[in-house]
Chains A and B, each alone.
Chain A
Amino acid sequence: MKLSCYLSCLFINLKRNSLPHILAAAALTASVPLVFCLTSLTEPLAAQPLEMYLSLTGTLLLTPIFLPEQNAEIRDTVRMRKMSYLSVCALRLVYLCIILAVLYAVITAALVIGESRITPEHFWGGISTALFLGAAGVLGAALGGNTIIGYMASMLYYVVNFSLKTRLGVFFLFGLSCETGVSKLWLLGSAAAMIAAAFGCLKYIRRID
C-alpha cells in the first residue's frame, strides 16, 4: 500500500475523527496549571500532576479509537477497503500516542521551567500511566463493543486507585507520587498487552479486521 494512502488516512483521521478528542485532551493539559502548582515541587509532588491528572489524557485520546466505526454498517463499509480496518485503528493508536507524548512533554517542560525536581522517570512514568488507562479503555471498548464501556473501564480503574492504592501492587497508577518504588514498566507492558488483546479480540473473536 502506498505511503500516500497512509498519509491520506492519517490526515483524514486527524481532522475528522480524532480532533474533538485531541482538543479535549489539550484542554485538560491546559488546565493542569490551574489545578496544580508547577513550581518548586519535590519529586513526589512533581509526579502528582503527571500521574493523577494528566494521565486522563490517555482515557480521552485512546479509548475512542474504535468510535468512528462503532456503527456496524459504517464498519462494514470501511472493511471493504483494501486497507484493513485494524491497520487504520493501529495508525490512530500510533499518532495518538505521539500526541500524548507531546502533551506530557509540555507539562514536563513547565515543571522544569518552574524549577521542580523532575527526572526522566517522571516523563516516562507519566506516559506509562496514561497509556495504561487508555489501553484499559481500548480493551473495554473492544470487549464490550461500545466505547462507553471503554470509558467506564478506564475511568473506574482510575477512581479505584484512590481507594485501593498500594493494594493494586504493580498496577497502582500513582507509584511515583506515593514513592512506592515500583517500576512503571509493569504499566507499560500491561498497556501493550491490553492493546494487543483488544486487537486480538476484534480480529479473532469478533472477526472484524
Chain B
Amino acid sequence: MMLFRKEFKRIVCSGVYVLFFAAEFFFAFYTQFWNDMSLGWNSYAPPEPGGDYGMTVVDDPELLTQNATADLLQNFISNNFTTYPLGFIHKVHLKGTAKEKLRMILQMLTGFDDPETYVKEHFESKTLYYDFDTEPTYEYQIPELNVLSRVSIEDFRALMTEADKILGGGSFYSPEEIDSTFCLAPASYEDVLSEYNALVNDDKITNGYARLFCDYHGIFMALLPVFLIAVYLSEDRRSKMEQIIYSRSISSAKLMLTRFAALVCAMMLPVLSTAVLANVRVMQVYGVSGLDYFAMFKYSLIWILPTVIAVTGADMLLMGFLHPVVVVVGQFVFWFFSTNLVSPTSPIGLFHLTIRHNTCYGRQEFIDNLPIFTENRLLFTALGILCALASVYVWKCRREGKLREIKLLPKLPVHQSEA
C-alpha cells in the first residue's frame, strides 16, 4: 500500500501528468461534452407536436432496397464511387472484372440485362453536371425498381455487402452504413417523445448523458495514456536509477503491478473529476430532481476503465522491448486508424477499443447491444491485465540481464541516449 501511494504520488506530481490531466479535460470534456450541452444545441424540453424532428432510421425494406439500388445504379453508370475505407474519402473507378461483378449484382437486383444501357435509354436525366471538364455526368430519375420481387431482403443485404467488398470497403453499401444512409424517414412525434421519455424516466437523464460522456472520453483515453506511460516508465533510465532498482529485494511482480495500478488510478482521475462537472452541467439544464447521480461514475468504470487498462497494459509491455518514441508513434498510428474505422453510428464490435454512442438517446439500442458491449469490455480488461503480467516477466528478464531493448535498426550505431 505504501508503495502504491509512493508511485501514485510520483505520477500525479509530475509535470507530464499535469499536461495529461489538462489535455483530457480540454479535449474530451470541454471541447466535446460541455460544448454539446451548450443551450441551443440540444432541446431539453419535451418535444412538441407538429415540429420538425429530423430524420431517423426506419425498418422499411422497400425504401432501403429502392434507395440503395438506385444509388448503386447511378454511381455505376457514372463509374464514380465514394468510399471511406480508412475514414478518408476515396474515389473508386471500377474496371475489368470488378466492374463485371458489380454489373452482375445490378442485373440481379434490377432485372435489366444491361443496366447501364437500359437506364440511359429509358430514364430521363434529372440534373446535368460536369466533372473535370471531361464526359458530362447525368443524374437519372430512376423509378420504382421493385427489387424485393426479385431478391429477398437477406439476399439484398448479402449482395450489397459484396458490392462493398468490390469497392474496397468503407462504402455506404456496407452493413454498418447501409441503413443509416438509405433507410431514413422523417422522425415522428411519437418516436421522439418515446426517446425523450426513455431518457427522462428510464435513464433518469444522467444515464443517457453518461453514454455521451463516455463516448468522448473513450476516444481520447485510447491515446493520451501512452504519453504519460512513456515518460513515467522511462524516468528510471533517465535518472540512472534503473540499476539501483534492479538490485533491490522487491519482487518484479509487486513493483510492476503496483505501477500498473497506480497508472490506471491516476489516469481515471480526470475522467472521474470531469464526471462530477458533467453531473453539475446536467443539473443546471434539467434541475436536480429525478437524476441518477452515480450514472456518470458507473458508466466511467464500465466503459472507460477497460480502455485505460488495455492501453496501459499494452504500452507497459511494449515499453519493455521498444524505445519510448517507437511506442508513442506506434500507439498513435493504431489509435488513428482504429478511430477512423469506427464512425459515430457504427454498431459495437467485439474488437473495437473505442466504443461509439454519440447521443444521449438510443437507450434501447444500447440495451440491445449490451451483450456485445460486455464481451468487448471484458476482453479488453483481460487483454490489459495479461499484458501487464507479461510486462512483469519482461521487466524481470531485463533485471536479470537476459533481455535488452530491441533496436529496430540493429546495425546502426546510435547514441546511447535514453528517452
Interface residues of A in 165-187 (CB under 8 A from B): none
Asked if A19 meets B409 with Cβ closer than 8 Å, knowing A151-B329, A152-B227, A159-B223, the reply is yes
Q: Is the CB of B91 within 8 A of A48?
A: no
Asked if A74 meets B92 with Cβ closer than 8 Å, knowing A19-B409, A146-B231, A156-B27, the reply is no
Q: Is the CB of A148 within 8 A of B31?
A: no
Contact digits for A63-84, partner B, Cβ 8 Å, 1 yes 0 no? 0100111110010000000000
Closest to A53 in B: B88
Of B174-182, B189-197, B385-393, B411-419, the one with at least 4 CB within 8 A of chain A: B411-419
Closest to B83 in A: A37
- C-alpha gap A45/B419 in the complex (Å): 38
Interface residues of B in 1-58 (CB under 8 A from A): 15-16, 19, 23, 27, 31-32
B185 at the interface (CB under 8 A from A): no
**Shortest Cβ distance from B329 into chain A, in angstroms?**
7
- C-alpha gap A15/B1 in the complex (Å): 48
Residues of B within 8 A of A146 (CB): 16, 231, 419
- A side interface size, CB within 8 A: 41
B324 at the interface (CB under 8 A from A): yes
Residues of B within 8 A of A37 (CB): 89-92
**Shortest Cβ distance from B344 into chain A, in angstroms?**
12
Contact digits for B301-340, partner A, Cβ 8 Å, 1 yes 0 no? 0000000000000000000000011001100100000000
**Shortest Cβ distance from B138 into chain A, in angstroms?**
18
B165 at the interface (CB under 8 A from A): no
A35 at the interface (CB under 8 A from B): yes
- C-alpha gap A49/B328 in the complex (Å): 22
Give the interface residue-count category, chain B: 35 or more
B254 at the interface (CB under 8 A from A): no
Interface residues of A in 15-56 (CB under 8 A from B): 15-17, 19-20, 23-24, 35-37, 39-41, 45, 48-49, 52-53
Interface residues of B in 71-108 (CB under 8 A from A): 85-86, 88-93
Residues of A within 8 A of B19 (CB): 144, 149, 152
- C-alpha gap A132/B374 in the complex (Å): 42
Closest to A35 in B: B86
**Shortest Cβ distance from B231 into chain A, in angstroms?**
5
Residues of A within 8 A of B413 (CB): 16
Interface residues of B in 243-297 (CB under 8 A from A): none
Q: Is the CB of B231 within 8 A of A148?
A: yes
Q: Is the CB of B27 within 8 A of A151?
A: no
B408 at the interface (CB under 8 A from A): yes
Asked if A40 meets B418 with Cβ closer than 8 Å, knowing A148-B230, A148-B328, the reply is no
- C-alpha gap A164/B27 in the complex (Å): 9
Q: Is the CB of B415 within 8 A of A160?
A: no
- C-alpha gap A48/B160 in the complex (Å): 28
Residues of B within 8 A of A45 (CB): 89, 91
**Shortest Cβ distance from A190 into chain B, in angstroms?**
20
- C-alpha gap A37/B171 in the complex (Å): 14
Residues of A within 8 A of B419 (CB): 67, 70, 146-148
**Shortest Cβ distance from A137 into chain B, in angstroms?**
11
B238 at the interface (CB under 8 A from A): yes
Q: Is the CB of B31 within 8 A of A156?
A: no
B129 at the interface (CB under 8 A from A): no
**Shortest Cβ distance from B346 into chain A, in angstroms?**
17
Contact digits for B203-229, partner A, Cβ 8 Å, 1 yes 0 no? 000000000000000001001100100
Q: Is the CB of B416 within 8 A of A74?
A: yes
Q: Is the CB of A156 within 8 A of B23?
A: yes
Residues of B within 8 A of A4 (CB): none
Q: Is the CB of A147 within 8 A of B32?
A: no
- C-alpha gap A151/B229 in the complex (Å): 13
Residues of A within 8 A of B418 (CB): 70-71
A60 at the interface (CB under 8 A from B): yes
**Can you list 30 A-B pairs, Cβ within 8 angstroms, ordered by A?**
A15-B412, A16-B414, A20-B408, A35-B85, A35-B88, A40-B91, A40-B93, A67-B417, A67-B419, A68-B417, A70-B238, A71-B415, A71-B416, A144-B19, A146-B419, A148-B16, A148-B230, A149-B227, A151-B227, A151-B325, A151-B332, A152-B19, A152-B328, A156-B23, A156-B27, A156-B224, A159-B27, A160-B27, A163-B31, A164-B31
Residues of B at under 8 Å CB distance from A?
A: 15-16, 19, 23, 27, 31-32, 85-86, 88-93, 131-132, 220, 223-224, 227, 230-231, 234, 238, 324-325, 328-329, 332, 408-409, 412-419
Residues of A at under 8 Å CB distance from B?
A: 15-17, 19-20, 23-24, 35-37, 39-41, 45, 48-49, 52-53, 60, 64, 67-71, 74, 115, 117, 144, 146-149, 151-152, 155-156, 159-160, 163-164
List 8 tightest A-B contacts by C-beta distance, closest first. A71-B417, A152-B227, A37-B91, A37-B90, A68-B415, A148-B230, A74-B417, A148-B231
Further pairs besides A68-B417, A69-B415: 17, Cβ < 8 Å: A19-B409, A48-B89, A52-B88, A53-B88, A60-B329, A67-B325, A70-B238, A70-B418, A71-B417, A144-B15, A148-B227, A148-B324, A148-B325, A156-B27, A160-B27, A163-B27, A163-B31
